[in-house]
Each structure stands twice: as C-alpha cells, then as structure tokens.
Amino acid sequence: MTRPLLLRFVSILGTSTSFFLLLSVVPRYATTGGGGGGTAGGAAGLATGALMLTTVVGELATPALVGRYGYRAVLAVGLVLLGAPALALTASRDLWWIVGVCLVRGLGFAFTVVAGGALTASLIPAERRGEGLALVGLVGGLPSLVALPLGVWLASHAGYGVVFTAGAVAALGAILAVPGLPDRIKASGRPVGMAEGLRTRELRCPAVLFAVTAVAAGIVVTFLPLAVPGSATNTVAVALLVQPAATTLARWVAGRHGDRHGPGGLVLPGLLLSAVGTLLMAFTGSAVAVIVAVGVFGVGFGVVQNATLTLMYERVHAAGYGTVSALWNFAYDAGMGIGAVAFGWLAAGTGYPWAFALTGAAMLTSVVPAWRGPGPKAVPGGPPPGDRAAASGAEPADADSKIGH
C-alpha cells in the first residue's frame, strides 16, 4: 500500500462514482424527452450504446497517448471529459443532445480506465497480482455498490439535475490526486501493440470470453429499471445494490484463489454462473427471482473479471500492460455497448422476459470455447508461463521493489 497506489485509489473512486451514478439514470432520462422517435427501450439503448462506442474507440487509442504524453496528462484529461459534460445533460432532454454528451463522456472514461489500469498494474507485485487486482476491484466496486442504486433513487426523489451535478463533482474532484501519481514507469520486456494483441489467441480468447459476460452487464444496468414493473422501484434499487456487491466480493475471492491455484480454472464456472443469472432475469414479475438472478450473475461476472484480467497480465511483460489494459477494457465496454443496443431492439419485438431468456441462452454457447481455452502460454516475447516476477519486470528475489517506482 504505497503512496502512489493510495493516490491512484482516489482517481479510481472519482471515476467509478461518476460513471455509475449516471449509468442507469441517463438511459431513463433519455426515455423522458420523446425526441428519439422510437421506443423507450431504443432510446435507452442508444444512450448506453453511445457511451460505450466512444469508450471502445478511445481505449484503442489510449496506449499510444500514454506513450506520448504520460499517465498523468491522459488521466487528468479523461477525468475532465467524464465529469464536465455531465452538467450539460440538464440543458436538454432531446435524444440527440443526450447521445452527444454520452459520446464525450465515453471518451473520457476510456482515458481513465486504460491509462489508470496500466499504471495500477505496474504498482502491484506480480506474485500478488490476483489479490491486488481484487483490491482495486473492491475500491472501484464500492462506489458502484452505492452509486448505481443511489443514482436511480436520487433521480426519483431529488431530480436528475442533482445526480448529474454529483457525477460531475466526483470526477473533477479526483483530478487533485493526479499530480502525485507517477508519470512514467520503467518497464521491462518488449511492448505489445494493439494489433498484435488482437491477433494473439492467448490474449484475445480471455478478452472475448469476458466480453460475453459484459454483454449481460450492459443489459442489467440499462434495462432492469425498465423491465421490472413500475410499482417495484424498491426491487430495482435492491437489485442494483446486490449485483455490484456480489461482483465485488466474487472478484476478491477469485483473486485470492487465483494467486494460490492459478486463475485459468475460474473462467468456465464464472461464465456458467453469469449465463444462469441472466436466464433467471426472465422472471421479471418476481422480486425474489430478480434479486437472486442479479446475485448469481454478479458472482459469475466478478469471477470472470478477475480471472481473465489476471491471465492476460501474466502473459506479457510490464511493457505490455497498457495493451492488456486496453484490450480488457475494450472487451468490457464493447460488450456492454453491444448488449445495450442489441437488447433494446430484441426486447421491442419479444418483450423483456423473452429477451433475457434468449440472451442467457446465447451466452451458454460460449461454454465450448471457454472449455477449450488456451493454456498458460505467453505471447511472443512475453514471460515464460507462470513466471510472475518476469512479467512484472522485477527479479524474483526483489519482486516487491516494483511498487516503489
């Protein structure tokens, strides 16, 4: 727990709070303007889809920006782009305006998660990476645990303007911690480019499997408030509390298990739990079923999060951390965006219960590639399988010194 890592936690808290406060609120806000011309589900899906679109585009460009300008500049710009546009949402309820704001905020979110993720990985000893990433997930998960249901509650009881202002303050306030972070960290090994990362099965396979679960995550935060009957607002608030709580706890448990036994065996059970939880969400008329469903999904989602990210970091040297962070976050946000947009179209034709059931069934088709997933191989030029000290760029006897940079 070094000073740079603690300061990094501040920017994680600001980013996560700003993002999750608005994540379920903006889609609801988009359905109130009537400017989209389509269904409410389509407007909600477009809002989340726009956010994720520029997020994934920005994530592909961020490693190059970090290489040129350093961690601090990219992270600070990302916080500004994430926070300041939230205030502009109150200016209009037209769908085009909301989508435009979401596009800008998505770019800011991309800068913060990729630049920050690579920096964070460099501050954690490789032999404790699973638990360290779980701790980072805990720090980022606590705001989601509170902010996701709080945003929905505040929008209903205090108005959308309060939520948007709080989201802006959270991101902009975190900029104060950025000057204390390392700007560049000396990294060993050969850098891995984005094109090479996408071509390499040992990195691509975990990212794709994680994207499958992220599809359902985008659906939950966007459509659960719309799918559950309107009189069950408390059910939605509890569900949006249970899901990130289960995810955060599961990430921690998976991290500790992965450090001791390896993360590879956790991907398949995590994927199965995510699919089963999504299937159970079809029972939207039952409060108990909805809460159990998001809990089961949350556990699976947390396990897959930690296992896939740890696997990917193990397979590259420290010089490749930026690319791993970009690929993993690309999978996260592309999955969420695709899920939000596609589910909106699907639900318009089938209704929400059938749309949840079909989504869960589709997720189960990824069980075969998960079962056949790549073994503990390294990417070309990466560390030998299982050599965590080499992956961190430190000598085995001095792995802890890595966090002092």
Check if the beta carbon of residue 29 is closer than 8 Å to that of residue 81: no
Check if the beta carbon of residue 164 is closer than 8 Å to that of residue 90: yes
Structure confidence by residue, pLDDT tens digits, 96-144 = 899 999 999 999 999 998 888 878 877 877 777 777 777 887 887 788 7
- Residue 142: CB atoms within 10 Å: 17
| Cα–Cα distance for residue pair 167/174, rounded to 1 Å | 11
| Cα–Cα distance for residue pair 275/366, rounded to 1 Å | 10
Check if the beta carbon of residue 144 is closer than 8 Å to that of residue 220: no
| Cα–Cα distance for residue pair 15/117, rounded to 1 Å | 12
Assess whether pLDDT exceeds 60 at residue 395. no
Q: What is the DSSP letter of 37?
A: S
| Cα–Cα distance for residue pair 47/370, rounded to 1 Å | 31
CATH of domain 3-387: 1.20.1250.20
Under the banding of pLDDT at 50, 70 and 90, the label for residue 279 is very high
Give the residue ranges of DSSP H helices in 281-366: 287-314, 321-350, 352-364
Claim: this prediction has a pTM higher than 0.75? no
Where are the domains positioned within the chain? 3-387
Structure confidence by residue, pLDDT tens digits, 296-340 = 999 999 999 989 988 888 887 777 777 887 888 888 878 887 887
| Cα–Cα distance for residue pair 325/113, rounded to 1 Å | 8
